[in-house]
Structure 1
């Protein structure tokens, strides 16, 4: 299991590094944001509910205080906490996504790490106000739009001098997309226009989920080709069973109790904690051994172990089609990239 405490800590007074974590107020995102904060990063937690994010920030600082009490005297003088801020964004509203990117660019002149962590899973079929299937927009379209609107800032950051003492390496900003093993549900003839709006929804919802997660892996691979100075990676955090992703299933009348029991049993046997699940993201965010020359576009699994996504997800012909389809669909909504 990857251990972020073994990596270098930054002094934000000397080297101010900025990160954004979408959905950083709970689950895997909470621990991703927490450890970046502990490593000296200024972290913007992007979410739609200010009250929840503010509460999470308070909790994060409390957890950080407990962890810092465990530092040795030498570590106390070498480790610095960063800062935590709220950034409003609603992934179900593309105008909100654009607005969040513009607000961030007005606040900061650089961006070192972008973690597209927020997502939904296996929801009933519905369309957002922008006309996209709800899982597709939340898990792919909105992260695509948010990331591309922030690319100029990431590219600008890549051109700035590295302030880490003794380092001659250029800064390599990182984009990390939190995917899922569920992307394997998109198989064989991949088609972005497939809604799988069939009965029973309880089964076909997983195919819609797989398409969204596969499309995002395609996005990371295309970005890696188009932006060689930015490290673009996808991760599967592991079977994290105690997240809000399962709220819909466990709240169903009567059958929800059965799903709750199944998730508990499965999680006990195969699952990892939220903090363990965050390790794959943190490796991609912080590990200095990763670089654009050797690792761009790669996929990492539980604990930060390099792995291979599905055949469809690593198919660059499909990836190019996904890119073109996305530009066309956004263009139809008068959103230019």
Structure 2
């Protein structure tokens, strides 16, 4: 699978078929390379992020990197491989009001959405709650993405294309196994030591995202929804909290370096699961809706907890109820 070549995936001409993507957390790490490949394949990509400056800086770097890669194309390839465009969309996933505003702004700019990549997330941070009273990892990785999907789903179900069905990709993690049992999402796990229980909270958030995908596939079969685990990617900023802890942070850093050398993949290789599920004709809506993919887009089975449809229904109902209690009524999901 290491021979995966994104250049073999379909390319689109934006002047003939304008294909639009929105991705959260596309300005760094895995998201950056996911955006790069979609941009090189002709997509109009909206990078949704909290810091306008960071997103704008990423856009400039992406344009330079894409231009450099295109110098290696042959003349014939340049005639068939078209660049898309890159756009900034401000969103703060720690605020449901910000999610609402971002979705509203996007709907004013675009009438169709072909690809939604729910990529942003945080990991292994101290216990904390958002202004919306959700645990920070749960809201960033899952709850805000649930709300964003609801507000944009109408733009996806209206897509008419002979090329590919609209697609939703939730970037999960092998860390969803950190939730070994089915817990109500009301559980906060605010216990000592945080270094252990923060992983429980992370696992619950990523497990909930897989539940979300499975429920979407059953409730909205006209949209292809999948979850991906990018692989062991340790050179992102996900682990910054652990590596900056006093004393023990150095041990974590050394451990991550060794583990990365033995089993890790690069940020770009980690993006390939999302890129394949976004672009490949080999991922088919009738056959593959609701599935879970891992490194380089290899189909896998998630944990028994994540794979349980009864638990998925409970997660869905909990989320709808919690959002409604906070004044964010679910409209289309």
TM bracket, shorter-chain basis: over 0.9
Residue aligning to 1:129? 131
The runs of 5 or more residues in structure 1 that have no matched partner are 165-170
Q: Could you say what secondary structure the match of 2:204 adopts? A: helix
Residue aligning to 2:305? 312
Structure 2: distance between partners of 1:204 and 1:266: 22
Residue aligning to 2:175? 182
Structure 1 residues 177-213: Cα deviation after superposition (integer angstroms, max 9, x where no partner): 0000000011223321111111111111110111010
Verify: 1:88 aligned to 2:81, yes or no: no
Residue aligning to 2:149? 147
Q: Could you say what secondary structure the match of 1:147 adopts? A: helix
1:108 to 107, 110, 115: 110
2:47 to 45, 48, 51: 45
Q: How do residues 125-274 of structure 1 correspond to structure 2 at under 5 angstroms?
A: 125-157=127-159, 160-162=160-162, 171-274=164-267
Alpha-carbon RMSD across the aligned residues, in angstroms, is 0.9
Q: Could you say what secondary structure the match of 2:79 adopts? A: helix
Structure 1: distance between partners of 2:77 and 2:60: 23
Residue aligning to 1:64? 66
Q: Does the aligned pair in 2 maintain the 1:190–1:312 contact within 8 Å?
A: no
Structure 2: distance between partners of 1:56 and 1:333: 33
Verify: 1:330 aligned to 2:323, yes or no: yes
Residue aligning to 1:168? none
- Post-superposition offset of 1:161: 4.1
Q: Does the aligned pair in 2 maintain the 1:190–1:318 contact within 8 Å?
A: no
Verify: 1:292 aligned to 2:294, yes or no: no
Normalised TM-score (structure 2): 0.97
The runs of 5 or more residues in structure 2 that have no matched partner are none
Q: Does the aligned pair in 1 maintain the 2:10–2:280 contact within 8 Å?
A: no
Aligned residues: 328
- Post-superposition offset of 1:7: 1.6
Q: Could you say what secondary structure the match of 2:168 adopts? A: strand
Structure 1 residues 290-326: Cα deviation after superposition (integer angstroms, max 9, x where no partner): 1211000000001110000000001000000000000
Structure 2: distance between partners of 1:3 and 1:330: 41
Q: Residues 161 and 189 from structure 1, CA distance in 2 versus in 1: closer, same or farther, beyond 3 angstroms?
A: closer
Structure 1 residues 67-122: Cα deviation after superposition (integer angstroms, max 9, x where no partner): 10110121011111000000000000000001111100000011000000000001
